[in-house]
Chains A and B, each alone.
Chain A
Amino acid sequence: MDPDNGVTTLDRAENGGTTSLRSSLGQRWATAFLLAPPLLWFLVLYVSSLVVMLITSLWSVNSFTQTIDHHVTGSNFQQIAMGTYPSIIGRTVLLAALVTVIDAVVAFPFAYLMARIATQRAQRFLLAAILLPLWASYLAKIFAWVSILEKGGALDWSFRHLGLPSPNLGFTNGAVLITFCYIWLPYMIVPLFGALERIPSSLLDASSDLGAGSWWTLRHVILPLALPGLVAGSIFTFSLTLGDYVTPLLVGGSNSTLIGNAIYDNLITGGNLPLAAALSAVPIVIMVVYLLIAKRLGAFNAL
Chain B
Amino acid sequence: MRRRLARGGLWLWVGIVLAFLFGPIIVIVLFSFDKVNIETLPIRHWTLSWYSVAWHDEQVRQAFVLSIKAACAATLLALILGSLAAFGVHRARFFGRDTISLLLVLPIALPGIITGVALNSTFQWAGIDLSIWTIIIGHTTFCIVVVYNNVIARLRRTSGTLFEASSDLGASTAQTFRFITLPLIATALVSGGLLAFALSFDEVIVTTFTAGAQNTLPIWIFGAIRLGQQLPEVNVVVTGVVVLMFIPIMIAARLTGRDTIAPRSRQQVLN
Specify whether A and B are partners: yes
Whether the pair B112, A243 counts as a contact (CB closer than 8 A) is: yes
Within 8 A of B (CB), among A258-291: 260, 263-264, 267-268, 273, 276-277, 280, 283-284, 287, 291
Whether the pair B241, A37 counts as a contact (CB closer than 8 A) is: no
Whether the pair B262, A190 counts as a contact (CB closer than 8 A) is: yes
Whether the pair A126, B14 counts as a contact (CB closer than 8 A) is: yes
Whether the pair B28, A46 counts as a contact (CB closer than 8 A) is: no
A254 CB contacts on chain B under 8 angstroms: none
Among candidates B113, B118, B234, B235, residue contacting A260 with C-beta atoms closer than 8 Å: B113
Whether the pair B91, A136 counts as a contact (CB closer than 8 A) is: no
Within 8 A of A (CB), among B164-190: 164
With most chain B CB atoms within 10 A of its CB, the pick from A9, A11, A30, A35 is A35
How long is the Cα–Cα vector from A272 to B267 in the complex, in angstroms?
36
Using known A-B contacts A136-B242, A139-B222, determine if residue A35 contacts B88 with beta carbons closer than 8 Å.
Answer: yes
> CB-nearest residue of chain A relative to B137?
A45
B191 lies within 8 A of chain A by Cβ: no
How long is the Cα–Cα vector from A243 to B205 in the complex, in angstroms?
9
Among candidates A6, A53, A154, A246, residue contacting B117 with C-beta atoms closer than 8 Å: A53
Whether the pair B263, A187 counts as a contact (CB closer than 8 A) is: yes
A246 CB contacts on chain B under 8 angstroms: 204-205, 222
Whether the pair B91, A34 counts as a contact (CB closer than 8 A) is: yes
How long is the Cα–Cα vector from A39 to B13 in the complex, in angstroms?
45
**CB-based A-B contact count at 8 angstroms:** 299
Whether the pair B267, A228 counts as a contact (CB closer than 8 A) is: yes
B157 lies within 8 A of chain A by Cβ: yes
A144 CB contacts on chain B under 8 angstroms: 24-25, 27-28
B192 lies within 8 A of chain A by Cβ: no
> CB-nearest residue of chain B relative to A160?
B41
We find that the number of chain B residues with CB closer than 8 angstroms to chain A is: 100
A157 lies within 8 A of chain B by Cβ: yes
Whether the pair A52, B122 counts as a contact (CB closer than 8 A) is: yes
Whether the pair A6, B222 counts as a contact (CB closer than 8 A) is: no
Within 8 A of B (CB), among A152-194: 152-154, 157-158, 182, 185-187, 190-191, 194
Within 8 A of B (CB), among A8-62: 8-15, 18, 27, 30-32, 34-35, 37-39, 41-42, 45-50, 52-53, 56
- Chain A interface residue number, banded: 35 or more
How long is the Cα–Cα vector from A42 to B160 in the complex, in angstroms?
29
> CB-nearest residue of chain A relative to B3?
A214
How long is the Cα–Cα vector from A264 to B205 in the complex, in angstroms?
10
B104 lies within 8 A of chain A by Cβ: yes
How long is the Cα–Cα vector from A154 to B222 in the complex, in angstroms?
21
Among candidates A47, A249, A303, residue contacting B271 with C-beta atoms closer than 8 Å: A303
> CB-nearest residue of chain B relative to A266?
B117
List the interface of chain A (C-beta within 8 A of B). 1-2, 4, 6, 8-15, 18, 27, 30-32, 34-35, 37-39, 41-42, 45-50, 52-53, 56, 68, 106, 109-110, 112-114, 117, 126-148, 150, 152-154, 157-158, 182, 185-187, 190-191, 194, 214, 228-229, 232-233, 235-236, 239-240, 242-246, 249-250, 260, 263-264, 267-268, 273, 276-277, 280, 283-284, 287, 291, 300, 303
Between A and B, 25 residue pairs with Cβ closer than 8 Å are A10-B163, A10-B164, A13-B160, A30-B91, A31-B91, A35-B89, A39-B85, A42-B144, A50-B114, A53-B117, A135-B245, A137-B242, A138-B202, A140-B239, A141-B24, A144-B25, A147-B235, A157-B41, A191-B263, A235-B109, A239-B109, A239-B111, A242-B111, A249-B226, A303-B267
